[in-house]
Amino acid sequence: MEEAEASPLTVTGEKRSLPEEDPGHAAKRLRVEQEEEEQESRGGDEEEPLEQESQGGDEEEEEQEEESFADMMKHGLSEPDVGILKFISEHKGFSGILKERYSDFVVHEINKEGKMVRLDDLSVPADVEEDSQDCSCAETQTLTEEQKQQLDELQHFKNKEGSVAIEVQEDSKEKRTLLHRAVKTLYPGLETKTEDREGKKFIVAYHAAGKSALAEVRPSAAPRKHSWPKNRGSFCHFVLYKENKDTMDAINLLSKFLRVRPNMFSYMGTKDKRAVTVQEIAVLKISAERLSHLNKCLMNLKLGNFSYKKQPLKLGELQGNHFTVVLRNISGSLEQVEQAMTSLKETGFINYYGMQRFGTTAVPTHRVGRAILQNNWKEVVDLILKPRPGAEKGYLVKCREEWARSQDPEAALKRLPVKRCVEGQLLRGLAKYGKNNIITAFGLIPRNNRLMYIHSYQSYVWNCMVSKRMEAFGLRAVEGDLVLRGGYAHVLSAEEAEKHSVHDVVMPLPGFDVIYPTHSVGGGYRDMLSADDLDIDSMRHKVRDYSLAGAYRRILIRPRDVSWELIQYDDPRVPLVHTDVEKLENAPAPVYLKEGKYRALKMEFSLPSSTYATMAVREVLKMDTSIKNQTQLNTSWLN
């Protein structure tokens, strides 16, 4: 087992979804780790990131003290802080730049049938085209070419007036209804109203999702009713291609333009923000035609591969994700690269929970989770609301300072222009229920945000224990290790261990419904939890949501479909991956030079869900993936 020095790497934090356990199942049964929902019951409230960072606009940010980002990030976490300590490959590490461009990180979902999800067809299913003929005819008869041009400009924010007024020449309810319907159907994102002007009726079209309104994501009370063919599945499934946008941000944007609630959409998992990602989405009773119209007006999003099905999608149904990753400006020799990638293909990497699991600020999320499990609610509030060093938005700093000074939730809340962040939700709860009823107040934070804290603590324990296990026993199965048999954990005897590979070995996330290894590392779980004032034999919490059942997780992951190539290039701005949209548009594929100023490593691999691509990259480069370390390394590298 090797502990290597980190190599320089610039990494933008990869945002991954988190596993959630099902509290009700048979004792000791295998728990399948599923991706966390980004919203509470997929409702309208957007979930905040674990580091409790608000989503206010740039215009609301206060000036920070004159301190460099690298200096501020000195207060953040590094890998050893969350138990990430070991490498398993033997090669010497080398440097590279990850996500220099978001197109350097491409993710394709692998669906439950094991097929890679791709965007390769923008056409609308034939039965929908037939259903839409009446509307197309109505649009042709109702709107003039000049009106169509004005509406198109309005839809694309090119109309400085902010609205388009269409005079109703032959005033009747039927005529007005036809105009309303034509505008809303053919120009998604536009809303209409009827106005009287000097005795004449006008249909006024305006942008329902104006530039400032887009951030609010405040949909109408209910979707408008449309006729829906009885022989058609209720859910329109489609492939969503997105660039540099979080999955929930994309869904909120779609819901705004379609004037429906975000919980009308379903998906199998969330995808990275700083990346090009392709995944399947389903929406209830929205036609493929309406969805396809969005391709005319949305930036960095593309919808296609439409089909109708009877069922929505469910979180965790996916088999995994396929990654295409470009590491630019690498320093490693051809021999180093070959050794690193061959090791990744044949041996894999330690299946650590990545840094994004634990937040980026000076207060790690697993500490909040530990306080919840300890039933220490005063500390939970203190950890979330107290002033902290490091990079934060100005209004959050002032909110924390006000809380530290006055302990008045209403006064601190007034310092927050954006109330949907975790801090704002907790302060609202404290103002409503009082500081003596913290458990109820804490409950105002969406459930999955609350569960992420305790899952973060489980992940922290797991990381620490797997590092101990790799240090003690290395790359072989040993007596006392756990493997899964028919959904149950089984302790290996010495004889059985000889017949098993280390790739069969699992380790538990702590909980009331798991067993532990019987070798020395098993005792390490008990010692670690005891040091945190927790009883490993009593993991049920008086608040049912916070009772930890536990789960099993493989200690090593061997990626599938691994391939790689070295690329030469001169211009750092040139894309090095041919995306689905570029292929649809018949754009030429990137041309790689025989000789160039820089070299890049382009790698492809597939991973099961709930594993972290950054941990695979970490093993290849032998580097620390924390923002703290990467910022400091990159600063000194550039200087």
In the block, tokens 């502990």 appear at: 3
| Cβ partners under 8 Å of residue 144, min gap 6 | none
DSSP for 589-633 reads PPPPBSS-SEEEEEEEEEEETT--HHHHHHHHHT----HHHHHHH
Distances, alpha carbon 198 to alpha carbons 11, 175, 195, 273, 473, in Å: 60, 19, 10, 50, 86
Q: Within 13 Å of residue 339, how many CA atoms lie on the same side as its CB?
A: 14
In the block, tokens 């959409």 appear at: 265
Closest by Cα among 420, 12, 492, 427 to 218 = 420
DSSP for 157-195 reads T--TTSEEEEE-SS--HHHHHHHHHHHHHHSTTEEEEEE
Instruction: Give the Cβ contact number of residue 586 at 10 Å.
Output: 6
Q: Do residues 112 and 319 touch, judged by C-beta distance below 8 A?
A: yes
Instruction: Collapse the DSSP code of 396 into the 3-class scheme (helix H, G, I; strand E, B; otherwise coil) and give the result.
Output: helix
Q: Any idea what the Cα angle at residue 244 is, between residues 243 and 246, rounded to 5°?
A: 105
Q: Do residues 92 and 336 touch, judged by C-beta distance below 8 A?
A: yes
- Measured distance CA(545)–CA(479) in Å, rounded: 35
- Measured distance CA(580)–CA(10) in Å, rounded: 26
Q: At residue 324, what is the residue type?
A: T
Instruction: Collapse the DSSP code of 73 into the 3-class scheme (helix H, G, I; strand E, B; otherwise coil) and give the result.
Output: helix
The torsion angles phi and psi of 520, rounded to 5 degrees, stand at -60, -30
- Measured distance CA(295)–CA(293) in Å, rounded: 5
- Measured distance CA(591)–CA(576) in Å, rounded: 8
From the list 246, 272, 481, 504, the catalytic residue is: 272
Closest by Cα among 484, 480, 500 to 492 = 480
Q: Is 535 marked active-site?
A: no
Paired residues of 542 in beta bridges: none
Would you state the structure tokens that stand for residue 324, as one six-digit string? Answer: 């295409």
Q: Do residues 535 and 563 touch, judged by C-beta distance below 8 A?
A: no
How long, in residues, is the chain? 639
Q: Within 13 Å of residue 566, how many CA atoms lie on the same side as its CB?
A: 18
Distances, alpha carbon 584 to alpha carbons 107, 123, 276, in Å: 17, 12, 15
In the block, tokens 């913290």 appear at: 438
Q: At residue 431, what is the residue type?
A: A
Strand order in the sheet with 488-491: 488-491, 482-485, 505-509, 551-554
Instruction: Give the Cβ contact number of residue 245 at 10 Å.
Output: 23
Residue 445 is classified by DSSP as S
- Measured distance CA(24)–CA(57) in Å, rounded: 41
Closest by Cα among 599, 548, 593 to 336 = 599
CA 199 to chain centre: 53
Closest by Cα among 206, 240, 222 to 285 = 222
Q: Within 13 Å of residue 220, how many CA atoms lie on the same side as its CB?
A: 12
Instruction: Give the Cβ contact number of residue 432 at 10 Å.
Output: 13
Q: Which residues are catalytic?
A: 272
